[in-house]
Structure 1
Amino acid sequence: MKTVTLIALSLFIGIVPVISPAWSQEDMTVVDNAAFDTPQRTPSVFAHDEHNETAGIDDCAECHHVYEDGKRVDGESSEDQRCSECHGLKGSGGQPSLIRAFHANCKGCHQEQKKGPILCGECHIK
Structure 2
Amino acid sequence: MAKTKLHAYPLIVCFLGGLFFFVASSAVCQENNGFVSDPGFNERLRPPVRFLHDDHNEAAGLHDCAACHHLYEDGIKIEGNMSVGMACSECHISGKSDTLLDLIRAYHLQCRGCHIQEKAGPITCGQCHRK
**TM-score normalised over the length of structure 2:** 0.77
**Structure 2: runs of 5+ lacking an equivalent:** 1-15
The answer as to 2:68 corresponding to 1:63 is yes
Indicate if the aligned counterparts of 1:35 and 1:84 stay in contact, CA closer than 8 A: yes
Of residues 92, 100, 105 in structure 2, which corresponds to 1:100? 105
After superposition, the Cα gap between the structure-2 partners of 1:46 and 1:90, relative to the gap in structure 1 and judged at 3 Å, is farther
**Percent of residue pairs bearing the same amino acid type:** 47
| Stretches of 4+ aligned residues off by more than 2 angstroms | 14-22, 24-28, 89-92
Letter in 2 for 1:40: L
> 1:110 is matched with which residue?
115
Q: Deviations over 1:95-116 (max 9, x none)?
A: 1110000000001100010100
Of residues 67, 77, 80 in structure 2, which corresponds to 1:75? 80
**Aligned-residue offset at 1:19:** 2.2
CA distance in 2 between partners of 1:77 and 1:28 (Å): 23
Indicate if the aligned counterparts of 1:28 and 1:48 stay in contact, CA closer than 8 A: no
**Aligned-residue offset at 1:34:** 3.8
CA distance in 1 between partners of 2:32 and 2:25 (Å): 10
Instruction: Work out the number of aligned pairs and report it.
Output: 116
Letter in 1 for 2:108: H
CA distance in 2 between partners of 1:33 and 1:26 (Å): 13
Letter in 2 for 1:36: F
**Aligned-residue offset at 1:17:** 7.6
Of residues 117, 120, 125 in structure 1, which corresponds to 2:125? 120
Higher-Rg structure is: 2
CA distance in 1 between partners of 2:31 and 2:42 (Å): 26
CA distance in 1 between partners of 2:89 and 2:64 (Å): 21
**Aligned-residue offset at 1:79:** 1.1
Indicate if the aligned counterparts of 1:44 and 1:125 stay in contact, CA closer than 8 A: yes
> What's the C-alpha RMSD, in Å, of the aligned pairs?
2.3
